[in-house]
């Protein structure tokens, strides 16, 4: 197996882990909430489908969650701007 294959495999595994993380976080979304993303609004169930499908909306949710977790890890969220 080439190093490229290993890298691709690792990347795919990471993407799957991020998807699972985003699904776990969205799965606790209160039922009275809807999220406006771009040109549509989505319920919890709809967001879970998009994340699972890995489409544009799903990727946006994963990216938002990832950015937030990175900011949490670096302490950026506690800065005062």
Partner 1 sequence: MANFLVTRPNHDETTDALAQWAGQIIKLAKEKQFTVFDLFSNKATRKMFLSYVHKHPILIFLNGHGNSDVITGQNNEPLLSMGDEIHELVQSILYARSCEAGRTLGPMLTMKGLRAFIGYKRKFFFFRSSDHTTHPLEDPYVKQFLEPSNRVVSTLLKGHSALEAYQRSQTEMRRNFQKMLISSQTFESRFMAPYLWSNMTSQVIFGDKDAKVSS
What is the DSSP code (8-state) at residue 77? G
Query: Should residue 21 be labelled a site residue for partner 1 when binding is judged by CB under 8 A?
Result: no
**Residue number with CB closer to partner 1 (3 or 78):** 78
How many angstroms separate the Cα of 23 from the Cα of each of 37, 47, 63, 79, 81?
A: 16, 8, 12, 28, 30
Footprint (CB under 8 A) of partner 1, residues 38-77: 38-41, 60, 63-65, 67-68, 71, 77
Token output for 61: 């949710």
Residue pair 60/47 in contact by the 8 Å Cβ criterion: no
Least distance to partner 1 from the beta carbon of 20, Å?
Answer: 16
Give the binding site for partner 1 (CB under 8 A): 28-41, 60, 63-65, 67-68, 71, 77-78, 80-81
């Amino acid at each position: 197996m080439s190093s490229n294959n290993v890298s691709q495999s690792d990347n795919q595994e990471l993407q799957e882990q991020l998807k699972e993380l985003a699904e776990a976080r969205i799965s606790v979304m209160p039922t009275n909430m809807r999220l406006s993303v771009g040109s549509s609004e989505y319920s919890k169930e709809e967001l879970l489908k998009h994340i699972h499908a890995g489409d544009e909306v799903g990727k946006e949710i994963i990216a938002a969650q990832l950015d937030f977790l990175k900011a949490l890890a670096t302490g950026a969220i506690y800065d005062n701007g």
